Amino acid sequence: MPGILIGRNDTAAVELDPRYGNRHGMIAGATGTGKSVTLMLLAEGFSRLGVPCFLADAKGDLAGLSQAAGAPSDKLKDRLAKLGLSGWTPQANPVVFWDIYGKLGHPVRATVSEMGPTLLSRILELNDTQEGVLEVVFRVADDEGLLLLDLGDLRSMLGFAAEHAKDISARYGLISAQSVAAIQRALLKLEQDGADNFFGEPALELADLMRQDMSGRGVVNVLAADTLILKPRLYSTFLLWLLSELFEHLPEVGDLDVPKMVFFFDEAHLLFDDAPPALRQRVEQVVRLIRSKGVGVYFCSQNPDDVPGDILGQLGNRVQHALRAYTPRDQKAVKAAAETFAKNPSLDVVETIGTLGTGEALASTLGDGGVPSPVQKVLVATPACRIGAITVEERTMVRSRSPVGSKYDTTVNRESAEEMLAARATAKNDDEAPPVKNASKGEDEGSGWGSAVRDAVLGTKRRQGMLETMAKSMVRTAGSRAGQQIVRGILGSIFGGKR
């Protein structure tokens, strides 16, 4: 099977072998050096091989994958000649647009239950105690048969937990009103960020991401992230949730001729900035093991050291664009990037990284046996799609042809925890409420003659009624000597005795 051409120099070509596409990769480089073009090149290459892809479009320029490139200019013709791409023709890719906020693509949703307390705690920025309370709330919901689908369900469940804190604490562990209130405040902040659009139904089904078009090309799923990127915790948690869902639901397949799916995580540092150790460990675990499910993960960031070393060591395919060593930190980053490549005796990697031009890169991929090839300086190949943003009309046209639009564009709100708890509260209030009508006369008991009679017989909060007065008189009589004799006489007659 042909490889994906990354770039070429005067003596060699660097291709990504599809057999090792699930061994993950890294695309790094300073702003404006061509990272996005390389990402598009790889996504287009995997699509031609029938591999579906998922990528986040942080700047809006990756949407160009859905449109064919224009007629080649003289500059582009010269570049194609250097690359030896004589058969290059403009071509669009099969693209489905997604958007958590539902504006620039089909809405992406997940239920609160699917997200789970651990990832949700990260979005809400909860401490350990509050996370423990959230775990208890999830457990109570499971045991009570209450579905947690959207933020309204979770908010109602927290109110239920606060109301029954004593009983829940005795069975599941201590929960405090302060912790519940803190979670409620965090939910309000999350809702203001627009996350209420993300939680709900219909929830995203993985099968709808792993599609091919009628010609057998893999569908490229483009997530509009220009607004989402401003909410780093929501952005990173969503991507991690999606990766975790694939890891948990896909079967083990080992090494395949081509991957089953490929992810591209742009602005990868957002996955790890301020991440607690437990969550970082989860990312490492998923990246390490998901390749056996046939899924490749490619991180895109400015510096390789934006990705933790334990994860960086799992990334077999590398493309490094230029880095500018203006500061001591930049110089350190250049050296760190150079050390991640397989050695090439004829190439000074540290010096080359700083002198690369736009559209040039250092590249190393896995070859036979999964062995990294020596790093090469190459002119990066040109994708056949448009490089750059698209118009609103073009996006609308792509959405209108989508095979999944009718499934996700309409929100579904079925009965869940919020509705079930409200129904319980209504039923409880109905049971405790006094009757409204007088059954025998059909008149209101709270007014008129019927009310006066009832008060005289039964009494009110401020005045005894006739029944209460008679009962107290009988008790006093029973307590006296004469009363004792009367009671003994009555009991004797009942049991057949004599006075």
Q: What are phi and psi of 89, to 5 degrees?
A: -135, 145
Please give the pLDDT value at position 418.
93
Residues written for the chain: 499
Q: Are the beta carbons of 182 and 126 closer than 8 angstroms?
A: yes
Exposed, middle or buried, 38 (CB in 10 Å: 0-12/13-18/19+)? buried
Question: How many other CB atoms sit within 10 Å of the CB of residue 322?
Answer: 22
Exposed, middle or buried, 292 (CB in 10 Å: 0-12/13-18/19+)? middle
Q: Beta strands 317-320 and 360-364: pairing type?
A: antiparallel
- Name the token pair of 206: 């993985």
Q: Are the beta carbons of 323 and 334 closer than 8 angstroms?
A: yes
Report CA-CA distances (Å) from 107 to 54, 98, 102, 224: 15, 6, 4, 10
Contacts of residue 334, Cβ cutoff 8 Å, sequence gap at least 6: 323, 325, 350, 353, 354
Report CA-CA distances (Å) from 35 to 44, 62, 211: 14, 11, 26
- Name the token pair of 48: 């031609």
**How do residues 89-128 score in pLDDT, each as one tens digit?**
999 999 999 999 889 999 999 999 999 998 888 888 899 9
Check whether domain 4-109+204-390 has CATH 2.40.70.10, yes or no: no
CA 436/CA 81 separation, integer angstroms: 90
Please give the pLDDT value at position 22.
93
Please give the pLDDT value at position 239.
81
Q: Are the beta carbons of 239 and 57 closer than 8 angstroms?
A: no
CA 424/CA 47 separation, integer angstroms: 51
Question: How many other CB atoms sit within 10 Å of the CB of residue 238?
Answer: 23
CA 152/CA 113 separation, integer angstroms: 13
Report CA-CA distances (Å) from 138 to 116, 131, 142, 268: 8, 11, 6, 30
Angle at 6 between CA 2 and CA 10, to 5 degrees: 100
CA 484/CA 109 separation, integer angstroms: 77
Please give the pLDDT value at position 464.
56
Element (H, E) at 156: helix 151-163
**By C-alpha distance, which of 242, 239, 233, 311 is closest to 274?**
233
Which residues of the chain have a pLDDT value below 50? Answer: 439-447, 449, 475, 477-499
Please give the pLDDT value at position 467.
60
Please give the pLDDT value at position 480.
46
Contacts of residue 235, Cβ cutoff 8 Å, sequence gap at least 6: 56, 225, 228, 229, 267, 270
Q: Are the beta carbons of 116 and 160 closer than 8 angstroms?
A: no
Q: Beta strands 13-16 and 4-8: pairing type?
A: antiparallel
CA 12/CA 380 separation, integer angstroms: 12
Q: Are the beta carbons of 220 and 402 closer than 8 angstroms?
A: no
Question: How many other CB atoms sit within 10 Å of the CB of residue 420?
Answer: 18
Instruction: Tell whether pTM > 0.85.
Output: no
Please give the pLDDT value at position 387.
92
Please give the pLDDT value at position 151.
92
CA 452/CA 139 separation, integer angstroms: 52
Q: In sequence order, what DSSP letters do the residues of 229-272 get, joined into one string?
A: GGSHHHHHHHHHHHHHHHHHHSPP--S-SS-SEEEEESSGGGGT
Please give the pLDDT value at position 310.
82
Contacts of residue 146, Cβ cutoff 8 Å, sequence gap at least 6: 140, 153, 157, 416, 417, 420, 421
Q: Is the peptide bond before 202 cis (omega within 30 degrees of 0)?
A: yes
Please give the pLDDT value at position 462.
52
**In the chain, domain spans:** 4-109+204-390, 112-197
